[in-house]
């Protein structure tokens, strides 16, 4: 009874204190912004968000391109594509909520327009610029992005373009580079991560920010490309399916198996695959001309920032950063003596 009585006295006292503190405030709230002001600020933030997104996508494409070319040498013999370095967009490329910002920033309409070409790409070598409007492709008139996609998928040799730059008319022929056909995409996730699925690679926005140096980001991308090239995702899926079949067999025999086989299948050889991808990533970095030391040091920095990752613990599928750093440091010291 004493507890109940105490509670009953405390609640009114708290309410009174809150009311008194509210009455004691002498700062009036500012007038609410006008609808026009909110609209203007909304468009400003959308424009800034689009500029930053494009800067992130450009950095990802710029760092990834030499690695995709290096990987085409032996990691993706049947999954290659001809690439001309054309980064295009039109007003239809954007969600309706972002089209006003895109139209303001880039004066876009339905006609495809070039975004900044990645350095070293065929488009960059030909002197193409952001803002060039694509008029004809392989002699075919271009009116929207669908036409561009259809044409680019059908061609593998020299590409003939006709473009408008202001009042000038430009005719260009591009010869393609050969890349692994594994798109490198940006994920807006706030988790520091990157992953491959056998068909593409995704790098989170948080990882892009954390990998401050291009050499660090290159190591992250190369590691995921190595997973694709070494077919680790397919092997992991096979292990998962085999484990699931064992779970099903156990159930038919009256033994409860709440996913134990599938879990063991996913983790079987996972540590070895991670180490294999680390070493193959160094080879890709070396071939692509990236410095090896900054990428190796990335694992040391990751461990010091996130101490839980320093040592491998039972059940995890990735080696600890201490082991990873030491293995990669030893491998990197030998690679400069090997021709790219």
- Sketch the domain layout of the chain as residue ranges: 44-180, 184-337
For residue 77, the number of C-alpha atoms closer than 13 Å in the C-beta half-sphere is: 3
Between 189 and 250, the more confident residue is 189
What are the backbone angles phi and psi of residue 305, rounded to the nearest 5°?
Answer: -80, -30
> What are the pLDDT digits (tens) for 227-262?
999 876 765 555 444 444 444 555 555 556 555 544
pLDDT at 338: 57
Q: What are residue 83's DSSP bridge partners?
A: 177
Work out whether strand 113-114 and strand 88-89 pair parallel, antiparallel, or are unpaired. antiparallel
Q: What is the CATH number of domain 44-180?
A: 2.30.42.10
> What are the pLDDT digits (tens) for 124-182?
999 999 999 999 999 888 877 887 877 887 788 899 999 999 999 999 999 999 999 99
pLDDT at 239: 47
Quick check: 287 pLDDT over 70? yes
Q: What pTM was estimated for this model as a whole?
A: 0.81
Q: Which of 66-70, 75-79, 296-300, 330-334 shows the highest mean pLDDT? A: 66-70
CA distance 220 to 230: 16
CB 76 within 8 A of CB 180: yes
Nearest partner of 218 among 76, 71, 107, 321, judged by Cα? 71
pLDDT at 102: 94
Exposure of 78 by Cβ count < 10 A (0-12 exposed, 13-18 middle, 19+ buried)?
exposed
pLDDT at 6: 47
CA distance 163 to 170: 5
């Amino acid at each position: 009874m004493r507890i109940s009585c105490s509670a009953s006295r405390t609640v009114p006292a708290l309410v009174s204190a809150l009311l008194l503190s509210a009455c004691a405030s002498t700062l009036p709230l500012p007038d609410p912004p006008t609808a026009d002001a909110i609209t203007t600020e909304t468009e400003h933030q959308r424009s800034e968000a689009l500029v930053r997104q494009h800067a992130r996508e450009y950095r990802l494409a710029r760092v990834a391109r030499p690695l995709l070319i290096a990987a085409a040498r032996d990691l993706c013999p049947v999954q290659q594509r001809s690439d001309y370095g054309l980064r295009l967009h039109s007003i239809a490329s954007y969600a309706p909520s972002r089209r006003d910002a895109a139209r303001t920033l880039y004066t876009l309409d339905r006609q495809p327009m070039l975004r900044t070409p990645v350095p070293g790409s065929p488009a960059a070598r030909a002197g193409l610029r952001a803002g060039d409007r694509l008029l004809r492709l392989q002699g075919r008139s271009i009116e929207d992005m669908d036409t561009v996609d259809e044409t680019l998928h059908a061609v593998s040799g020299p590409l003939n373009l006709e473009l408008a730059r202001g009042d000038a008319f430009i005719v260009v022929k591009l010869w393609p580079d050969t890349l692994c056909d594994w798109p490198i995409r940006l994920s807006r996730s706030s988790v520091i991560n990157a992953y491959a699925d056998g068909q593409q690679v995704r790098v989170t926005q948080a990882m892009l920010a954390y990998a401050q140096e291009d050499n660090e980001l290159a190591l992250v991308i190369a590691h995921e490309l190595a997973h694709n090239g070494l077919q680790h995702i397919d092997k992991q899926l096979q292990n998962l399916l085999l484990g699931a079949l064992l779970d099903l067999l156990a159930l038919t025999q009256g033994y409860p198996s709440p996913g134990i086989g599938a879990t063991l299948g996913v983790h079987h050889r996972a540590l070895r695959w991670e180490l294999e991808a680390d070493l193959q990533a160094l080879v890709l970095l070396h071939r692509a001309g990236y410095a090896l030391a900054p990428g190796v040091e990335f694992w040391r920095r990751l461990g010091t920032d996130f101490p839980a990752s320093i040592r491998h613990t039972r059940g995890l599928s990735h080696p600890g950063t201490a082991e990873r750093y030491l293995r990669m440091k030893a491998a990197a010291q030998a690679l400069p003596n090997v021709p790219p």
